[in-house]
Amino acid sequence: MSRLSVVDPATAEPAAKSLLNKVERALGATPNMMRAMAVSPAVLDAYLSQSGALSKGSLSGAVREQIALVAAVQNSCEYCYAAHHVLGERAGVSGEDLTSSGKGQASDPRTQAALTFARAVIETRGFVSDADLAQVRAAGYGDGEIGEIVANVALNVFTNYFNSVARTDIDFPVVALPAK
């Protein structure tokens, strides 16, 4: 059972209701994480704003979902790991890559470089080495894309931590976390 309250969209205050309706339209459902965030509309708005902004960036939805899977495993977030399996599949991530992405592995070499860099950002708390930067640049990522990788890591660390604090009830098909 969740340790933080969740909002029922039907009885939500106007600001929360508006945001939850936006989620419902986009996803066709209102996940428990969003309902818990809606207790403070500012929290849900912050999450939706950053997520929406990053969806307009140069990284594909598939790569963003694979970064989310890396973060979920690194931060032991069962909720996010389950959610991003579903969202990753919707974004076109193959079944093989859904399974391997959490371990920081991808079938595409360029995506592999992004996941390796994302994992390094998490493991070093942002203090990546010159070699880490050189490796992601060698795969063809420019500074803007590198910034987007960092921003996607930050967004996912936020949701990982939020769900770990809340112990959000998983409302996606449960997928066992692999070892780090």
Domain identity same for 51 and 69: no
Radius of gyration of the chain (CA): 16
Structural domains counted in the chain: 2
Domain boundary (23, 38, 55) is at: 55
* Integer Cα distance of 79 and 85 in angstroms: 10
pLDDT average, residue stretch 56-67: 98
Q: Does 177 fall in a domain? A: no
pLDDT score recorded for residue 180: 79
Q: Does 93 fall in a domain? A: yes
Domain identity same for 36 and 113: no
pLDDT average, residue stretch 11-22: 96
Residue 76 in this model has a pLDDT that exceeds 80? yes
Residue 32 in this model has a pLDDT that exceeds 90? yes
Residue 136 in this model has a pLDDT that exceeds 90? yes
Report the mean per-residue pLDDT for the chain: 96
Residues sharing a CB contact under 8 Å with residue 114, sequence separation 6 or more, in sequence order: 59, 63, 66, 67, 106, 136, 139, 141, 145, 149
Q: Does 28 fall in a domain? A: yes
Q: Let me know: does 176 contact 141? Beta carbons within 8 Å.
A: no
Domain identity same for 137 and 95: yes
The pLDDT-based confidence of 166 (bands split at 50, 70, 90) is very high
Q: Which domain holds residue 51?
A: 9-55
pLDDT average, residue stretch 162-177: 96
- CATH, residue 73: 1.20.1290.10
Domain boundary (55, 73, 93) is at: 55
Residue 1 in this model has a pLDDT that exceeds 80? no
pLDDT average, residue stretch 12-32: 95
**Matching residue, tokens 């692999």:** 178
pLDDT average, residue stretch 5-18: 95
pTM above 0.85, yes or no: yes
Domain identity same for 39 and 78: no
Alpha helix ranges (H) inside 28-170: 32-37, 41-55, 61-74, 78-90, 95-101, 109-124, 130-138, 143-166
- Percentage of the chain modeled with pLDDT above 70: 100
Q: Does 178 fall in a domain? A: no
